[in-house]
Structure 1
Amino acid sequence: MTLTNGGRRRAAAPHRTTGRIAAIDIARGLAIIGMFLAHTVPNPGDAELLVDGRSSILFATLAGVSLGLITGGATPAGPDRRGALRMSVLIRGLLLAMLGLLLWTLEHGIAIILDYYGVMFLCLIPLLFASRTVLAAVGIALLAVAPWLAGVANQLVPPGRAVFGLDWFLTGYYPALVWLPLLIGGLIAARSDLTKRKTQVVMTLAGITGMVAGYGAARVIPGVGAEAHSSTLAEILGSGGFAFTVIGLLLLATAPQNAALGRGIRGILWPIGAAGAMPLTLYTAQILGITAAFALTQNDDLDAVIDDLGWTLPVILIAGALLFASLWRATLGAGPLERVMRLASAPPRSNQ
């Protein structure tokens, strides 16, 4: 409580977290690097790697955080601005879907996430300004129902066949209805003030709990799996828990309250944060780079391209991304595609 000039007490306003938070950029940078590795690292035994599935789930979870931040953070925008912000998210979602569909037309062997990502944005529009209680209720309901629906839908659809629309929502690599609880969880975190130590600790503990529940169930319950892109409840809990643990730990480690330690960690990880500040640019550049590798090696199979190039491809992609992002971020700020997205979807400014 604080005292006004008139002497009456009023509640202090929640801290507004709408600017860039270093830990969020770093987490997003790790997700981008993880996807680079998942797409291109040599894996002769075809074993599931740490980055498989978890990188894209971290990426999706951060989408919910980002939507929460751009719509007001811990202090959601007022009713007079909500329509414009919903329209902005609608435009972003449509542009992401269009770019994703365009990238699908190239020869690269990658399951593109951007069109699914755009559909998730569109699905989240009605919930953008809902209370945390409503968000939690919807997220829990989806956790209970969507993985089961995805399992039924995958049984009905013949293997290798994609059904337009159904693929986006239930049967694809990144099914929107199954993954929406991740975005909702990120949105709840943003509404809880990411700068608060309590929020950071709760995110970390909730993440660890999710990992134990999801991966533990897959380990001890017969017939339960948590493999990457399996769209099971165990995968969403386990890999979603991993995502929240990473975000929570990074928020704790880089918090300004940590003084010199926080500054040191932020400084060391700055190139990764720079990459995380321009995910759309780097993700698209990665797809173009892999497409170029297809043409260079004259192969039409991603595994064959990786066999030909070995570690050369992921090293070039990651080193190039970190160098480009660091130089661009230091001199020009927002990434090129991020600038286009911002200009195309910018809500009109109020005259007041």
Structure 2
Amino acid sequence: MNLRIHGIDLARGLAILGMMLAHFADPLSRVGTLIDGFPSTLFAVVAGFSLALIHSRAPESPAPLLIRGVILFLLGSAISAVPSIAQVLTSVALIYLLLFWVPRLRTRHVTVVFVVLVVASALASSFGFSMTVYPPAAWLVYGTLGVLLFRLQERAPQRIPAVLLGAAVVAGLSLWWRVNSVGYQFLGDSVSPVDHGSTMYEPMGFTPADSLSAALTPLPHSGSLGDLLSTGSMAVLVILGCLLLTRMRAVVSATWPLRAVGRAALTVYLLHVLTAGFYLQHETQAEFPVPDATDSAQEEPSLEGYQEVVAGADTWEELYEAEAEFYGYADAGAGDAAKYSKPAGPNTRWWAFGISALTALVLAPLWLHFFRRSPMEWLVSRLIRSGAAADRSAHTP
């Protein structure tokens, strides 16, 4: 196995553990805010790197890439029913299904595609088309970025230290920009809006009418230019750092458990989603009890009444105040508020993350000590080989 694979396995393993932490972290905690969007982006850029790597091994047909994309899409669709976790597999599948042709291009043309996708993602964000957990246009940007990193590793490895230094500078500046733009200040181990009388978007100047701000602001998972810059530069920093570190034999040996998680990424990720999703749903139900029957027996608000509330609000603050009054939250007593509100303070489940991470770091290398591939990776490999063979037979005269 060459050094390039060691580095990518290490980066993929870091992405898996990072997504575990993101799932168990309180979104308003210091950790939850700082890592939001970074692990999934790293996973997406690594997928783009793998896209180019797989193509380099079988450039004659796109079948392996397309089959892998279909499998990931089906797996992602199947686990979408798991509560509390937004799965990434269908988004990764888009990289294989929609960018399978990109590795065939010259590097300058790949760069053009990358720039076009960046502009498209920023425009989609400015018009509100990308306000999903994993904006499709943004993930195509990350996939193309991974292809460019593969070209850098293959054709100009001597430039990696310089690119790594540039990525470190951009990542540091963009992280500072993101923290300050989002308008949060750290209070102990929790994060609160600087202006408690406004929404979290108002400190950034984010309003539906302000398309330019929406296209630039580094809001996580928005696909904006700022989001792409902060998360993409951090992914480049981590991947190139892993590629350089794994040039040393001692690092390769010391990082074997984490690299094993990267080699078994699909198996580990699926097991994590299936276990953590239902656990988090149980915890959420415990924190937010189901209202009593007497509460649910009250007359439900009407759609017409809510439309009148929206029409009568001129600002976001007025809208939220009117919503609170419309749904009866504003008149709830202190006891009712305590019953249905989240406990004060951050609620990062460190012990759950520790158990999940430790289990992966122990079981993945143990399995790979006896077997060449983890279960899901073996199954995907078999399906790809069968599909590729069928494709070759169909095109053989």
Q: Same fold (TM over 0.5)?
A: yes
For residues 9-158 of structure 1, the aligned pairs below 5 Å read 21-42=5-26, 45=29, 48-72=32-56, 77=58, 81=60, 83=61, 86-107=62-83, 109-154=84-129
For residues 155-174 of structure 1, the aligned pairs below 5 Å read 170-174=130-134
2:267 alignment partner AA: T
Cα distance, 1:70 vs structure 2? 1.2
Cα distance, 1:94 vs structure 2? 1.2
Cα distance, 1:140 vs structure 2? 0.8
| Whole-angstrom CA distance in 1 between matches of 2:103 and 2:16 | 25
Give the structure 1 partner of residue 160 of structure 2: 200
Give the structure 2 partner of residue 191 of structure 1: 151
Give the structure 2 partner of residue 176 of structure 1: 136
Cα distance, 1:348 vs structure 2? 2.9
Provide the secondary structure at the position in 1 that maps to 2:34: coil
Extract unaligned runs of 5+ from structure 2: 182-203, 206-212, 289-341
1:318 alignment partner AA: A
| Whole-angstrom CA distance in 2 between matches of 1:125 and 1:301 | 44
Cα distance, 1:209 vs structure 2? 5.0
1:243 alignment partner AA: A
- Specify whether residues 123 and 210 from structure 1 end up closer, same or farther in structure 2 by C-alpha distance, changes over 3 A only: farther
Give the structure 1 partner of residue 271 of structure 2: 285
The 8 Å contact of residues 57 and 243 in structure 1, kept in 2 or not, is answered as yes
RMSD in angstroms over aligned alpha carbons? 3.2
- The alignment status of 1:244 with 2:219, answered yes or no, reads no
Cα distance, 1:71 vs structure 2? 1.3
| Whole-angstrom CA distance in 1 between matches of 2:223 and 2:286 | 28
2:63 alignment partner AA: M
C-alpha offsets along residues 79-113 of structure 1, whole Å, 9 cap, x if unaligned?
A: xx2x2xx1111111111111111111123x01111
Give the structure 1 partner of residue 313 of structure 2: none
1:329 to 368, 388, 395: 368
- Specify whether residues 317 and 171 from structure 1 end up closer, same or farther in structure 2 by C-alpha distance, changes over 3 A only: same
2:42 alignment partner AA: L
What is the count of residue pairs matched by the alignment? Answer: 305
| Whole-angstrom CA distance in 2 between matches of 1:200 and 1:309 | 36
- Specify whether residues 43 and 177 from structure 1 end up closer, same or farther in structure 2 by C-alpha distance, changes over 3 A only: closer
Identity %: 26
Provide the secondary structure at the position in 2 that maps to 1:121: helix
- Specify whether residues 136 and 282 from structure 1 end up closer, same or farther in structure 2 by C-alpha distance, changes over 3 A only: same
| Whole-angstrom CA distance in 2 between matches of 1:112 and 1:301 | 23
2:379 to 324, 340, 343: 340
- Specify whether residues 145 and 312 from structure 1 end up closer, same or farther in structure 2 by C-alpha distance, changes over 3 A only: same
C-alpha offsets along residues 265-296 of structure 1, whole Å, 9 cap, x if unaligned?
A: 11111100000011111110001111342576
The 8 Å contact of residues 214 and 233 in structure 1, kept in 2 or not, is answered as no
C-alpha offsets along residues 207-231 of structure 1, whole Å, 9 cap, x if unaligned?
A: 2354256446655897442132122
- Specify whether residues 122 and 206 from structure 1 end up closer, same or farther in structure 2 by C-alpha distance, changes over 3 A only: farther
C-alpha offsets along residues 150-187 of structure 1, whole Å, 9 cap, x if unaligned?
A: 33134xxxxxxxxxxxxxxx342112212222211211
- The alignment status of 1:311 with 2:350, answered yes or no, reads yes
Extract unaligned runs of 5+ from structure 1: 1-16, 155-169, 256-261
Cα distance, 1:137 vs structure 2? 0.4
1:268 to 244, 249, 254: 254
C-alpha offsets along residues 23-60 of structure 1, whole Å, 9 cap, x if unaligned?
A: 11011000000000000135664764433210000000
Cα distance, 1:21 vs structure 2? 1.5
Give the structure 1 partner of residue 225 of structure 2: 233
1:50 alignment partner AA: L
C-alpha offsets along residues 301-331 of structure 1, whole Å, 9 cap, x if unaligned?
A: 7989xx9993221111101111111101111
